[in-house]
Structure 1
Amino acid sequence: MIAAADATLPDRVDGDGRTRVSLAELIALGARAGRAKLASVQSRSERSGQQSSRLYGRGMDYAESRAYQPGDDVRRMDWRLTARSGKLHTKLYQEEREGRLLILLDTHASLRFGTRTRFKSVQAARAAAIAAWLAVRAGERVGLMAFGGHDRLLRPQGGAHSALAVCGALAEWDALPPAERAEPLSAALLRARRLQHGASRVLLLSDGFSADVEARQHLLDLKTRAGVGVLVLADALERAPPPAGRYPLEHDGERRDVLLLGERQRREFQQALGVGPARLETLARATGLRCRVLDTRDDPLPAAGELLGATRTRR
């Protein structure tokens, strides 16, 4: 069983992939991404009339016409439809932009926990790396923002070197000494909105313990500007009551045995541990966001790929 730990990793030693992020593993995950194609994202441009736009490349193509709304650009009037219907109509255009993915990585101390295979923090890094490789292989730029225990930012870049930069940042940030600093999810989302810089996709990776009431509105605001996916990191003990038995847990160098026998005791123990993931999953689904729960034992590729709408293509 793996338990929470706080020891730092020497810079010259790569992580073991269980309690510390392994840079070699993150880079190797790129081979699994293959050539990817990401589904286009429906967003809402901040232009006159607030026309919907699809963000995925370059250029302007006619999409459809709709009834005129105050603030619409008169240069985009659909005069033929206006003449036929007797009511003012505006042409909408499909705008193509270079896709951008912004990954929001939770680095709170609660993620340095795991009882199966690896820590949640390590699993989060693996999922972030896979997402970066998928986006890069689809021709998108990738940025990374850490919140919670550490406040770090890697601005969006393009090309294979950007995925390598994300992998390097994930390993570097994971090796930093644990911080007691806490940041509500709402504050992190507000920062992300300011740093978004035209990102067409946002992927949030968190175990939910930082989720607060105010985060709901910030998620809704972010949703109007980008396609938002939520990947909830959870350990087996946070998802289902454990079998009866004695469980050794370690925190801050202190080891204790927890005896769990009765069904009610085991259920309450699981609910207490799993309050964060359950809260974030409920919040994501209540706001209509795409959401997946990722166990520390699972392969992150299917979950990350689904949230990004990725399909791999043959060479």
Structure 2
Amino acid sequence: MERQDARAEVVLNRMQLLITRKLDGLLQGDYLGLLPGPGTEAGESREYRPGDDVRRMDWPVTARTTLPHVRQTVADRELEAWLAVDLSASLDFGTARYLKRDLAVAAAAAVSHLVVRGGNRVGAVVGTGSALTRMPARPGRKDAQGLLRAIAHTPPQPGRADLGALIDMLNRPPRRRGLAVVISDFMTPVAQWARPLRKLGVRHDLLAVEVVDPRELELPNVGVIALVDPETGRMHEVQTADPKLRHRYAHAAAAQRGAIAGALRGANAAHLRLRTDSDWLLDIVRFVAAQRHARTRGTTR
């Protein structure tokens, strides 16, 4: 356990240094966490453009002008953001530069760093196996760093986490509109978490951070390997030299990721994918830049 805590502290310190040095200079201006815009404070109206959120239709202006208009909103200055961080056993896996767990902590650190600027509050719910933990939302960098350390030092536990129950903890008790971020590999069946996620997306600006390892998308040709399910402990030997097996695996993995992406779109969630073989900080910067570009063109996702 001490070794695990020491590693978590090293990883967290390195991530916070990278975020402080690089993220501040690249992501400036009005923001709503990692989703810049739209906030809840009413602004001016403008003509509807394809891709606009129909929930923001300005019906009085539309009736007067006979042209569809949407009500623009101003970025919130006092934002409450909540993170749902899945740290189940399947996140303790990685075959490239990082473990998936490291990327989950990195995503939480990036969101927290951006949110707490300006006195905003950030809280979290963490799921490990059958345990669900709520950490209250507090303002300020010191409290945000304490929150991140609590997340990073959360010990792994055996068993499969209930992602649906974890997401549902952000729906209760009801809160005013804010930012909700779900960080997971979404490996649990889609039917278990799709409905709570849709419910969450109705009230809040929603960001889903999907953490992926390349070996979850395709198998290399390395002969016989022993695969162990970290959540159940079951082991299975696989002959990766079989091209048909590798093809079936890649096809099933693509279908699984397609179902995940479809469920995230159905919840109106912005979708950020972080891979263990990529530069996670650069991926975050590109994502935020794409979101801001989409906002300026009138699209929401």
The TM-score with structure 1 as length reference comes to 0.68
Code of the aligned partner of 2:142:
H
**How much does 1:228 deviate?**
0.7
**How much does 1:14 deviate?**
1.1
Task: Name the counterpart of 1:179.
Answer: 158
In 2, Cα distance between equivalents of 1:285 and 1:217:
12
Where do residues 150-169 of structure 1 align in structure 2 (5 Å cutoff)?
A: 150-169=131-150
Whether the 8 Å contact between 2:77 and 2:120 is mirrored in structure 1 is no
Task: Name the counterpart of 1:44.
Answer: none
Code of the aligned partner of 1:153:
R
In 2, Cα distance between equivalents of 1:122 and 1:189:
20
In 2, Cα distance between equivalents of 1:114 and 1:202:
26
Q: Where does the alignment leave 5 or more consecutive residues of structure 2 unmatched?
A: 47-59, 65-70, 293-301
The verdict on how the C-alpha distance between 1:147 and 1:242 changes in structure 2, with shifts beyond 3 A counting, is: same
In 1, Cα distance between equivalents of 2:286 and 2:178:
16
The verdict on how the C-alpha distance between 1:12 and 1:204 changes in structure 2, with shifts beyond 3 A counting, is: closer
Which of 11, 18, 33 is the equivalent residue of 2:23?
A: 33
The verdict on how the C-alpha distance between 1:26 and 1:110 changes in structure 2, with shifts beyond 3 A counting, is: same
Which of 2, 7, 10 is the equivalent residue of 2:2?
A: 10
Q: Give the secondary structure class of the aligned counterpart of 2:188.
A: coil
Decide which moves more: 223-232 or 128-137: 128-137
Task: Name the counterpart of 2:184.
Answer: 206
Count, aligned residues: 267
Q: Give the secondary structure class of the aligned counterpart of 1:152.
A: strand
**How much does 1:230 deviate?**
1.1
Deviations 1:244-264 (A, max 9, x none): 534455667998864311211
The verdict on how the C-alpha distance between 1:307 and 1:219 changes in structure 2, with shifts beyond 3 A counting, is: farther
Whether the 8 Å contact between 1:112 and 1:120 is mirrored in structure 2 is yes
In 2, Cα distance between equivalents of 1:38 and 1:22:
28
**How much does 1:154 deviate?**
1.9
Task: Pick the structure with more helix per residue.
Answer: 2
Q: Give the secondary structure class of the aligned counterpart of 2:158.
A: coil
Identity between Structure 1 and Structure 2 (%): 21
Which of 105, 119, 141 is the equivalent residue of 2:121?
A: 141
Task: Name the counterpart of 2:280.
Answer: 300
**How much does 1:240 deviate?**
2.7
Q: Give the secondary structure class of the aligned counterpart of 1:208.
A: coil
Where do residues 225-304 of structure 1 align in structure 2 (5 Å cutoff)?
A: 225-247=203-225, 249=227, 258-270=238-250, 277-304=257-284
Decide which moves more: 195-204 or 99-108: 195-204
Task: Name the counterpart of 1:22.
Answer: 11
Q: Give the secondary structure class of the aligned counterpart of 2:96.
A: coil
Q: Where does the alignment leave 5 or more consecutive residues of structure 1 unmatched?
A: 1-8, 42-52, 66-77, 86-91
Code of the aligned partner of 2:212:
A
Q: Give the secondary structure class of the aligned counterpart of 1:294.
A: strand
The verdict on how the C-alpha distance between 1:62 and 1:256 changes in structure 2, with shifts beyond 3 A counting, is: closer
**How much does 1:216 deviate?**
2.6
**How much does 1:206 deviate?**
0.9
The verdict on how the C-alpha distance between 1:227 and 1:275 changes in structure 2, with shifts beyond 3 A counting, is: same
The verdict on how the C-alpha distance between 1:171 and 1:217 changes in structure 2, with shifts beyond 3 A counting, is: closer
The verdict on how the C-alpha distance between 1:54 and 1:262 changes in structure 2, with shifts beyond 3 A counting, is: closer
Deviations 1:149-207 (A, max 9, x none): 2312222222211331232112221xx25232531x32222211115633511111111
Whether the 8 Å contact between 1:63 and 1:93 is mirrored in structure 2 is yes
Whether the 8 Å contact between 1:238 and 1:271 is mirrored in structure 2 is no
Whether the 8 Å contact between 1:241 and 1:270 is mirrored in structure 2 is yes
Whether the 8 Å contact between 1:211 and 1:279 is mirrored in structure 2 is no
